[in-house]
Structure 1
Amino acid sequence: MTDLGYTFKVLQRIGLLQPVMPHRLLGAGLELAKWGPGLPSGVGSAAKRYPQRTAIIDDAGELTWAELSGQVNQLTQALKDRGARPGDSIAVLARNHRFLVMALVATMQLGGRVLLLNTMASRSQLGELVQREDATVVILDQEFLEVAQDVDRSRLVLAWADDDAPDDLPTVATMIDGQPARAHPKPDRHGQIIIFTSGTTGLPKGARREEPKNLLPLIAFFGSIPYRGGSTVALAAPLFHSWGLLNFAFGLSTAPTYVLRRTFDAEQVLRDIESHRAEVLVVVPLMMQRMTDVDPAVIERTDVSSLRITATSGSALAGELANRYMDLFTDSVYNFYGATETGWVTIAGPEDLREAPGTAGTPPFRTTVKILDPDGRELPQGETGVIHVGNDMPFGGYTDGNTKSFADGLMSTGDLGHFDENGRLFVSGRDDDMIISGGENVFPRELEDALIEHPDVSDVVVTGIPDERFGQVLAAYVVLNPGATLSEDEVKAYAKGKVARFAVPARTVFLDELPRNATGKVMKRELPEIEQS
């Protein structure tokens, strides 16, 4: 199939080529012509095409696309009245709900810089990031007021506010009250979104994500993850993270109904899928783990047969988890491998995950992936090297002026991996996670994938620690299932039957839980230290 034929097929499936009343189609076209691809045109076009379709279902109720578009315009005006101008930075610290969506789109309509902050940010991190990025307004949920104590109170606006909200702080709801809902002119400056990296080892870095200049990124994404126009999407992954944001932003073109919840609850997700007949669920792997741990009786009586896509990313997906999830629910898992900086690299569908558990999949449309050695030379199939990628989602660099490294015209992911004989990518782990133990290259991911398959193990992460004899050895931090017992020697014995001798853990530490952030990544700096063996 030619690129043109492929593009036509994808656009037809996601609803962009479906028949619409001429005046509505014209209105949507004018929105796209005015704003170009991005959040403002996405919301505006959906409101023109399907004004009475439900746009958002959240803990506050329901909004149609027409209502959402009008309230975005009202907030845009309110922010202008407050003094916000093109180029200003507006920080947003909020969970998944309509007010976060409104803040995102309104800031982009202003031509401002959205600073999407992690909901696990500490007081010191928040204060430093707001100061470093020069945020003029901080829109945050009431629950985060405690971590905003070092931020000038005059900058604060409450997104989600409870009944006991402080009287001296404006809320998004009160700010839009009485404001005109009319459209705004395009600003002189294009809006920008700054996503903060996970900060698992230090202060998060601000990564500029450029909005796409054309429809090619949509074709790549939807060509591999088969969204359909007008679907209901249960968006459980946090919107402040690139994975949740990507699905929201690209999904706008399909004019879906988004189901948003402020906090993740596995049973609530199942109820939402059943009651709203959701076709798409957007999660991180930890959420999939929580869903497989739901009481079997609850799973049995909940109808999730509508679920066609479980789109997951944000951290490594173990092959065992993907298949256990599909055995319990539907064969619907699409694993997206990429990063804030790189965009997508590869995508694995249900068939890939069944046939090759643990694979990261294959490169999507117009995406080039190569495995390079330290000198930038491409390695043959089967050999491990640094994964490099090129696609249609340009990275705008970090806000401190730095960027990722490049070789052969491709961006380094910072991960090590290899291709198998079927062209499927397998990721070994971060290049800086690899250790050298007794002269052998050892990847913690291999041991993690082995230990998570133990019936008594609920969660695990593996790191390298210094060792006088071998230079470095592996240490496993293990969380057991409720009621399970396991000794360090038993962990070693199990590992010896699964991995090479140099990948067997020298030390095992049992924890009640791993310190994970909101996207499921382990905060390794918070793991207890292990003395040198």
Structure 2
Amino acid sequence: MKLPTFLAAQAARRPGQTALIGERRMTFAELEDATTRAAFTLRRQGLQVGDRVAIALPNGIPFVVAFLAAVKAGLVAVPVNLRLAPDEVDYILGDSTPEAVIREPTEVTDLIASGDPVRPEVPPDFDDCVISYTSGTTGKPKGAVLTQANYIVLNGFLNGAMWDLRPTDRQLVTTPLAQRTGLARVMNMVCHGCSLVIPPKFDAVGTADLIESERVTFMATVPTVARMLLPQIEGDPARFASLRDFVATGEAFPLALKRKLRDVLPGLGIHSYYAMTEVGLVAGMGPAEQFTHPDAVGQVQPGVEARLLDEEFHEVPPGEVGELWVRSGPPGNWLTMREYYRRPEDTARTIRDGWVATGDLGRFDGEGFLSLVDRKKDMILSGGFNIYSREVESVVAELPGVQDVAVVGVPDEVYGEAVAAYIEVAPGSEVSERDVIDHCRRRIAGYKKPRHVYFVDELPRNSTGKVLKRELTAHN
């Protein structure tokens, strides 16, 4: 199975259906023709099967065309998130050493205009299609080599089964297409024949307008987008009547936010899932479990094995914390990446006998629901006690007026490390240090409550919206 065959099938079955809605509309027949012509040109320019081509384009139809053309040509796409700082972009280009870089939408137009409608020959055993760079929240990003099989299994099979995706669906993408979450929406379009709505950037007002005007039925994004959209939804819920499903990933999905969405849009299916660039979708849960298991990320997906190991690599019993390791067949064949690009030592440390070390600490309950308690590197050791920053963050986030919070360990002469909470306060609200500490004292053990509380205008984040905790600890 190859992605180009899926696209060709969509073009044959529904040639006049809209595939992409962005700067203009493009049908499946037009997308098939444009990507074939661009792929022909890429190969005629001298690029060979397996060569890398960086795609440094903003969200839009040219990005999708360039990406699918690269796959058709047997090239390995290196999507570059333009929200990154220049030094970060330079790092990715230097690490991946692409043979070509597509930087301007006009270059895509030229590739199409110069090509013939003949799909280049690609050996059937060649399957690499993307080098997707990790977010680098704890160090330098690494390039995960992902295959067409990885995307087809996840986005063509699992996503369809989980969310009942259909050709009649209209998806909205609100995250960079250069990220795996954004590319997943492209893969949903290719595999399921549903339309993809691509705004050039996210803003709450414009997104609300698009959902209403384009009758968007499905969106998969990060909880931050839901938080930013909520005032628009509460202001006029009828504008969002077309939405069938809302899927969140990438960060904790606060229970209070889920409740607000449910209350204002009672017919909306709320889903969430836990995934990583290296292993795709690991666990998820649908609307029925969102409020019965609010602290969980869900149950492990069919086809995925998961286990929690202690420091001696022994499996821990239900209810106890261990590092999460997952497996889904041979690397590159199902969900697991094939390798880290040109990083054999990192690959060997991360993948052992097909098992992938996620670096996340979690626990299973008696029903098999997985809860994440922390990143392994974010665990705080204070006075001999293990303190999970995620647990403290969840408690602090309950406090009215707290818009966002990050908890880190800071040096302490007595306890080794102490808990520090960095808090964004919602506009128009007031929260004091005493409020935070008293609330935590009521909700969690005394040794877990923050010894330091700092109020910040904005938490440092990377281009995907994840908090850069290393920048917070660097200030102490």
- TM-score, structure 2 length as denominator? 0.91
Alignment of 1:494 onto 2:439:
yes
8 A Cα contact 1:376 1:408, kept in partner: no
Pick closer, same or farther for the CA change 1:499–1:516 going to 2, 3 Å. same
Partner of 1:287: 225
Alignment of 1:92 onto 2:55:
yes
Partner of 2:337: 395
Pick closer, same or farther for the CA change 1:90–1:422 going to 2, 3 Å. same
8 A Cα contact 2:208 2:232, kept in partner: no
CA deviation map 1:150-186 (0-9, x unaligned): xxxxxxxx12xxxxxxxxxx53223423533343333
Alignment of 1:186 onto 2:122:
yes
8 A Cα contact 1:224 1:364, kept in partner: no
8 A Cα contact 1:492 1:505, kept in partner: yes
Amino acid at match of 1:276: E
8 A Cα contact 2:2 2:149, kept in partner: yes
Structure 1 segment 336-485 matched on structure 2, within 5 A? 336-391=273-328, 392-399=334-341, 400-401=343-344, 402-403=346-347, 404-406=349-351, 410-485=355-430
Q: How far apart, in 1, do the equivalents of 2:293 and 2:259 lie?
A: 10
Question: Unmatched 5+ residue regions in structure 2?
Answer: 329-333
Amino acid at match of 1:514: L
Deviation at 1:458, TM superposition (A): 0.9
Pick closer, same or farther for the CA change 1:332–1:214 going to 2, 3 Å. closer
Amino acid at match of 2:293: A
Q: How far apart, in 2, do the equivalents of 1:74 and 1:214 lie?
A: 23
Q: How far apart, in 1, do the equivalents of 2:275 and 2:90 lie?
A: 29
Q: Secondary structure at the match of 1:135?
A: coil
Deviation at 1:231, TM superposition (A): 1.0
CA deviation map 1:413-447 (0-9, x unaligned): 11111112222111101111111111111011111
8 A Cα contact 2:363 2:370, kept in partner: yes
Q: How far apart, in 2, do the equivalents of 1:452 and 1:221 lie?
A: 30
CA deviation map 1:364-384 (0-9, x unaligned): 222222222222222221111
Q: How far apart, in 1, do the equivalents of 2:372 and 2:431 lie?
A: 29
| Alpha-carbon RMSD | 2.2
CA deviation map 1:291-324 (0-9, x unaligned): 1244732x34x43222222122122322332332
Partner of 1:46: 10
Matched residues, percent identical? 29
Amino acid at match of 1:181: P
Stretch of structure 1 that moved more, 476-485 or 225-234: 225-234
1:55 maps to which of 11, 14, 19: 19
Q: How far apart, in 1, do the equivalents of 2:466 and 2:91 lie?
A: 22
Deviation at 1:203, TM superposition (A): 2.5
Q: How far apart, in 2, do the equivalents of 1:425 and 1:445 lie?
A: 14
2:257 maps to which of 301, 305, 321: 321
Q: How far apart, in 2, do the equivalents of 1:46 and 1:411 lie?
A: 34
Q: Secondary structure at the match of 1:425?
A: strand
Partner of 2:331: none
Amino acid at match of 1:357: P
Pick closer, same or farther for the CA change 1:68–1:190 going to 2, 3 Å. same
8 A Cα contact 1:465 1:474, kept in partner: yes
Alignment of 1:114 onto 2:77:
yes
Partner of 1:308: 244
Question: Unmatched 5+ residue regions in structure 1?
Answer: 1-35, 141-157, 160-169
Q: How far apart, in 2, do the equivalents of 1:214 and 1:103 lie?
A: 17
Q: Secondary structure at the match of 2:431?
A: coil
Alignment size in residue pairs: 465
Deviation at 1:195, TM superposition (A): 0.2
Structure 1 segment 107-256 matched on structure 2, within 5 A? 107-140=70-103, 158-159=104-105, 171-177=107-113, 179-186=115-122, 189-212=126-149, 217=154, 218-256=156-194
Q: How far apart, in 1, do the equivalents of 2:410 and 2:63 lie?
A: 41
Amino acid at match of 1:128: Y
Pick closer, same or farther for the CA change 1:373–1:171 going to 2, 3 Å. same
Q: How far apart, in 2, do the equivalents of 1:346 and 1:191 lie?
A: 25
- TM-score, structure 1 length as denominator? 0.82
